[in-house]
Chains A and B, each alone.
Chain A
């Protein structure tokens, strides 16, 4: 395929993905908006006012970056895993497999679709948070770079999960038993400085901690970890997961017999 045809194929996949999640917006866009508003009200306003400042910021301002990141991570992952597995389940993935679209374009299209939903939800949650706190912007570049890279990484994660999944249970195991605990324990609601030394060490092996802190650094200028180490880690994971995804696509794991 020539570059123009490849671009058409890529935009076709992305547009179809965006059309899918906007068509079912009560399942994709509304729930995170409702959930995060509840977090803002309960943890930010009601409980947060009794907790007091954290790292020099009131509790609401402290948790907003983490909650935005949580919704970006969850939505990016969920979009790709449910869309791609849905196509596998309905066998409509065969539409792509019989076409001349190169594997890297298929992967890029799905990842871009996941990022579109992740970043869209992130934007919705950010706008909602403005009703509860005044958001600063310490570093625009660090904020945007972190959220884009994180969204990309978890879209890739969702893609691999969908490739490996053989039944619907398989696409809920990772979000429920891996992503949610890691996100909750990844410094969304607290600074790891509050933990005993041993648990601080344990927290440092949680990759989501780095992304939440890099994003918080972008907005508030405070972080438990080095921001550039965080971004470098995310970049390395992106390269690894992209390689694994392309290898799986090329072998046709779970999609070709």
Chain B
């Protein structure tokens, strides 16, 4: 399997002297669904900005499907589609024109560009808005427009920088479904997100970046395996005034009056139910709390900053 993206020793120091990237190494395989996570200012957008030629690098190499952005930039760009974090289309242009124009930049003749534009506008539910000026679209529609625009030249690698920021749950789910379908059809996808459940739901590989360094780069499965504790959310038959004190499990009531119990990995759940039963609590339903990745993310970032403080001490 060849690499969709190969980054080696990528460095970026901004004019003011701020070092945003400190030797990033990253490989994303063709066909992967990859998440780049990190706190604000960690270097996610700078990394992707360099890949997309929106940011000048200070050092290092970047290859997109084997094409170096230093020596074969046009071919590298032909393989790339970009959905930026902030709206960056002409607000006064019509939706359809935005897509056809973008395809034209890639040398796609008008007729073919119009066909491609129609296909993606229909798939993303924007066909009815094709003649509307972009500024008239809702926030969610604008996000979808940027995805359609990024795909209109059929790139092999799609980069999305926080694509679902600020969109409602229903739309987020429909965008997930669309992206999963694109990935199934062979498009390699890299996304950055603050919604860790998004990365957990969609991605096969995850890298965590903090303070300009990759602090973790592995498969989602491996990452989740590292979690030692899992939290279960339990609905109980009778409302509880306070969380029960159990011998082997920490419990608490969440804001919705549900009982949350922490279970050590490998610890049998039967024991939890036995103790709850002994306490006179009847459980009616149960689910895992989807914050596993979030916990690990915070742990890794905290460890990373701790290491760096030690190193600089």
Bound-state Cα–Cα, A153 to B283, Å: 79
A1-B74, A90-B88, A94-B84 known; A9-B105 Cβ under 8 A: yes
Contacting B at CB under 8 A, from A91-116, are: 91-92, 94-102
Contacts of B101 in A (CB 8 A): 12, 16, 95
Indicate if B91 sits at the interface (CB-CB under 8 A).
yes
Contacts of A92 in B (CB 8 A): 88-90
- Do the beta carbons of B55 and A8 come within 8 Å of each other? no
Return the 5 tightest CB-CB contacts between A and B, nearest first. A5-B107, A12-B104, A99-B105, A91-B88, A100-B74
Q: In the complex, what's the smallest C-beta–C-beta distance from A249 to chain B, in angstroms?
A: 12
Q: Residues of A at under 8 Å CB distance from B?
A: 1-2, 4-6, 8-9, 11-13, 15-16, 19, 23, 86-87, 90-92, 94-102, 252, 256-257
Question: Which of A9, A15, A257 is in CB contact (< 8 Å) with B54?
Answer: A257
Question: Which of B75, B106, B110 is in CB contact (< 8 Å) with A99?
Answer: B106
- Do the beta carbons of B88 and A99 come within 8 Å of each other? no
Contacts of A11 in B (CB 8 A): 104
Interface size class on chain B is 20 to 34
- Do the beta carbons of A256 and B53 come within 8 Å of each other? yes
- Do the beta carbons of B56 and A94 come within 8 Å of each other? no
A98-B77, A98-B82, A99-B77 known; A4-B107 Cβ under 8 A: yes
Question: Whose C-beta in chain B lies nearest to the C-beta of A16?
Answer: B101
Contacting A at CB under 8 A, from B87-107, are: 87-93, 97, 101-102, 104-107
Q: In the complex, what's the smallest C-beta–C-beta distance from A154 to chain B, in angstroms?
A: 24
Question: Which of A4, A90, A256 is in CB contact (< 8 Å) with B90?
Answer: A90
Contacts of B107 in A (CB 8 A): 1-2, 4-6, 8-9, 100
Question: Whose C-beta in chain A lies nearest to the C-beta of B80?
Answer: A98
Question: Which of A13, A95, A102 is in CB contact (< 8 Å) with B88?
Answer: A95
Indicate if B282 sits at the interface (CB-CB under 8 A).
no
- Do the beta carbons of B86 and A91 come within 8 Å of each other? yes
Contacts of B104 in A (CB 8 A): 8-9, 11-13, 15
A11-B104, A99-B105, A100-B106 known; A87-B55 Cβ under 8 A: no
Bound-state Cα–Cα, A96 to B14, Å: 23
Q: In the complex, what's the smallest C-beta–C-beta distance from B166 to chain A, in angstroms?
A: 17
Q: In the complex, what's the smallest C-beta–C-beta distance from B29 to chain A, in angstroms?
A: 22
25 CB contacts below 8 A, A to B, read A2-B107, A5-B108, A8-B107, A11-B104, A12-B104, A15-B104, A16-B93, A16-B101, A19-B97, A90-B90, A90-B91, A91-B86, A91-B88, A92-B89, A92-B90, A98-B54, A99-B106, A100-B78, A100-B105, A252-B56, A256-B53, A256-B55, A257-B14, A257-B49, A257-B54
Question: Which of B84, B90, B109, B110 is in CB contact (< 8 Å) with A87?
Answer: B90
Bound-state Cα–Cα, A4 to B80, Å: 20
Q: In the complex, what's the smallest C-beta–C-beta distance from B38 to chain A, in angstroms?
A: 18
Indicate if B52 sits at the interface (CB-CB under 8 A).
yes
Question: 0/1 per residue, B30-67, Cβ < 8 Å to A?
Answer: 00000000000000000001001111100000000000
Q: In the complex, what's the smallest C-beta–C-beta distance from A106 to chain B, in angstroms?
A: 9
A87-B90, A91-B86 known; A8-B108 Cβ under 8 A: yes
Contacts of B110 in A (CB 8 A): 8
- Do the beta carbons of A101 and B105 come within 8 Å of each other? yes
Question: Which of A9, A97, A102 is in CB contact (< 8 Å) with B53?
Answer: A97
Bound-state Cα–Cα, A99 to B52, Å: 9
Bound-state Cα–Cα, A257 to B13, Å: 10
